[in-house]
Amino acid sequence: MEWYEIAFDRIYPVLYRHRDDDEAEMVLDAFGDLIAGRDPVLDLACGNGRYMVSADKRDLRTWGVDLSEFLLGEAANRNGLSGRLVCADMRRLPFGGGVFGAVLNMFTSFGYFAADMDNLLVLREVSRVLRTGGMLLLDYVNAQRARSKVLEDTMREINGWVVRESRSLQSNGRYLVKGVEAQNGATGETVAYDERVRLYTQLELTTMLESVSLGVSGVFGDYDRSDYDQEFSERIIMICEKR
């Protein structure tokens, strides 16, 4: 079983409870003007649908795709989302070509595959389903910053779970690996996996995007649309247009 099949199951709401509706509202407040008028919108790796809900409030017709049946079940319980959710691998999207005006890929939902070609396939599929002039909003970890940070082991308690996390760079800094072990104090249940994300630089991302006809038109360093700084920005948020 791949790490993302474990991480994006029942343990996800425990570990990432801060990734909530308020955050989604903040993101759509910041970037909504770029998405406006681009119906329909695809939320790629939509999780529990929080960005879809925020987009719906802004009269954007959205669809969501995710591999996690658990998180899609959570999304289906939200008003209005059922019927617009699809369980699929992001390397093989079940949509026709040129059907979307915008694609959202939020919170580092890219770079999950060990092979660069598989990650490129994701971008190729995004380009395929976007119509000409359509937009990709790619929200990704800033590789330069991630490589320079001091990586520490941590332990925390969350809603009855004891969570231990260790972080390391592997393959000469190509991959950021986070070992996660979470144990439920009441039941003794343990969930363990190694999260593995490919760290792509701005240049590498730009090269990959342009190779599939996605031209970069803007780069930001955080959800407040601040300027991107490769040394200090926590994130790299890229606005891309389908040529």
- Here the CATH number for the domain that contains residue 91 is 3.40.50.150
Residue numbers of the chain with a pLDDT score lower than 50: none
- 158 shares a domain with 70: no
What SS3 class is residue 217? strand
- 110 shares a domain with 68: yes
- 167 shares a domain with 93: no
CB 89 within 8 A of CB 113: no
- 97 shares a domain with 80: yes
- pLDDT for 157 equals 95
Residue 125 and residue 128: Cα distance in Å, rounded? 5
Give the helix ranges, DSSP H, for the chain: 3-7, 12-15, 21-35, 50-57, 69-76, 116-129, 143-148, 202-211
- 111 shares a domain with 26: yes
- 82 shares a domain with 166: no
Residue 50 and residue 67: Cα distance in Å, rounded? 16
* Domain closes at, from 180, 196, 212: 196
Residue 236 sits in which domain range?
Answer: 3-141+200-242
Q: Which residues contact 204 (CB under 8 A, 6 or more apart)?
A: none
- 131 shares a domain with 231: yes
- pLDDT for 17 equals 84
- 137 shares a domain with 151: no
- 231 shares a domain with 136: yes
- 158 shares a domain with 72: no
- pLDDT for 164 equals 98
- Structurally, the chain folds into a number of domains equal to 2
- pLDDT for 178 equals 97
- pLDDT for 197 equals 98
Residue 84 and residue 75: Cα distance in Å, rounded? 10
Residue 207 and residue 222: Cα distance in Å, rounded? 21
Neighbours of 185 (CB within 10 A): 11
- 107 shares a domain with 8: yes
- pLDDT for 142 equals 98
Q: Which of 109, 104, 46 is nearest to 72 (CA)?
A: 46
- pLDDT for 18 equals 81
- 160 shares a domain with 73: no
* DSSP output for 37-104: T--SEEEET-TTSHHHHHHHHTT--EEEEES-HHHHHHHHTSTTTTTSEEE--TTS--S-TT-EEEEE
